[in-house]
Amino acid sequence: MAQVLEFKLPDLGEGLTEAEIVRWLVSVGDVVAVDQPVVEVETAKAMVEVPCPYGGVVTARYGEEGTELPVGAPLLTVAVGALEGADASAPAQAPTATPAPTATKAAVTPQAAAPARASASASASASDEASGNVLVGYGTGAPAARRRRVRRAPLTASHVATALVREPVNGGAGPVPVVSPLVRRLAREHGVDLRELTGSGRDGLILRCDVERAIHQGATQAPPAVGAPAPATAPTPLPASAPAQAPASAPVAASPSARPGVTRVPLRGVRGAVADKLTRSRHEIPDATCWVDADATELLAARTAMNAAGGAKIALIALFARICTAALARHPELNSTVDSAAREIVRLPEVHLGFAAQTDRGLVVPVVRDAHARSAESLSAEFARLTEAGRSGTLTPGELTGGTFTLNNYGVFGVDGSTPIINHPEAAMLGIGRIVPKPWVHEGELAVRQVVQLSLTFDHRVCDGGTAGGFLRYVADCVEQPAVLLRTL
């Protein structure tokens, strides 16, 4: 008899506790192979394709695209193996010959579900249709090296159909088309009866926005004015969990979110991670900013000469990165972090250089590993690779963490200056404005030169203004006279 195994959202590492479903790669009724990617999710770090450790037929999907699920929540169920009594010698029918039911969520019958759940862990380790591969915290227990496949009679569409039913809830009072456990929890916390809602999702599925709309409608119902005639019908009673409202002496103003045209954007995914990190930086780091204008004419000329000599093209940000690593070698205080619990400044031996990159998914900070040991050509190639990965949403969590110092080239947005917020838990960030022609005194005469504004925001706990000013002045000297950099090579 076929076993229906439940695959839960795995721990994706880096301390992440939730992920948003971006795109389903399989549908109910599809046949999946072991370790086949079944869903694409977005975490606070990156986009990840999640592989399923079981091979079989998908019998249920938990969550629509856009739904946020916590780690450990059910993701999908897979029917593994053939039903008892199936004739292995009979011609196999393609599972897609008869379409599976279109319901987004299905469950096995109570008689089949109980033993399936009770033996799920044992089946996961012993089944020949399951993988020994894991990400973090999930997968079968069988070692991958000892895994063997046994030929089985394939599941037919009729076998799958017998395992697909709507999920009964509330003691058999009728099905409620809700997939997301977050939606159920939100409704429960606010006393919303899901049976009274009409879902806006596919096949009447109740989504989070449906519950939030019901909450807002309940919150904005004001009591009738004094002296107004009684309504023709009795008012709808409040949920038992809702407190009684005291009579108001003045009209109740509608909440800002209830006004027409107001849009609520959840702080989750990359946007939520950025908000949390910047808020923590402002709360924990006593930062200060200093800035200086520098004549970048000679730096631009040096880059032009390097690119004219042939070979790989050198990006301007790669030259600034090379200058930064040289400046950090002279002022290692800025390549550090603060251990607040131990009240210690931790100076780091290597420079892992982050750079702010704006993408369609929000602001990300990819990290160039061992930037201090790279040449200008190597830095240019790595900047290009990470930038493209950021735009396509394929950066891994490891490529977004571990930075020790950050460059922020806001000049690409056409602005001259800024006061960057430090990328916690680092100690400093260098901002680079746009390079524009300006009047400048050069060799005692007024001339038009290419001028850039540089700003350094630093953690005042790791150093004082003298160290920060010395770092910024050395960067400006290298920008104005690139030959200064040769002294450190």
E strand map for 326-434: 336-339, 344-347, 353-355, 357-359, 362-364, 367-368, 405-408, 428-432
Q: Exposed, middle or buried, 484 (CB in 10 Å: 0-12/13-18/19+)?
A: middle
The secondary structure of 364-387 as a DSSP string is E--EETTGGG--HHHHHHHHHHHH
Q: Exposed, middle or buried, 334 (CB in 10 Å: 0-12/13-18/19+)?
A: buried
The secondary structure of 93-119 as a DSSP string is PPTTSSPPP--S--B--HHHHHHHHHT
236 CB-near residues (< 8 Å, 6+ apart) = none
Round to whole Å and give the CA distance between 377 and 386: 14
Are the C-beta atoms of residues 30 and 56 closer than 8 Å to each other? no
- State whether residue 432 is helix, strand or coil: strand
Round to whole Å and give the CA distance between 68 and 57: 24
Round to whole Å and give the CA distance between 418 and 406: 14
**How many C-beta atoms surround the C-beta of residue 6 within 10 A?**
20
In the annotation, is 372 catalytic?
A: no
Q: Which of 331, 372, 424, 460 is catalytic?
A: 460
- State whether residue 180 is helix, strand or coil: coil
Residue 350, CA distances (Å) to 211, 308, 332, 399, 405 in order: 50, 32, 10, 16, 10
Radius of gyration over alpha carbons of the chain, in Å? 30
Catalytic annotation, residues: 460
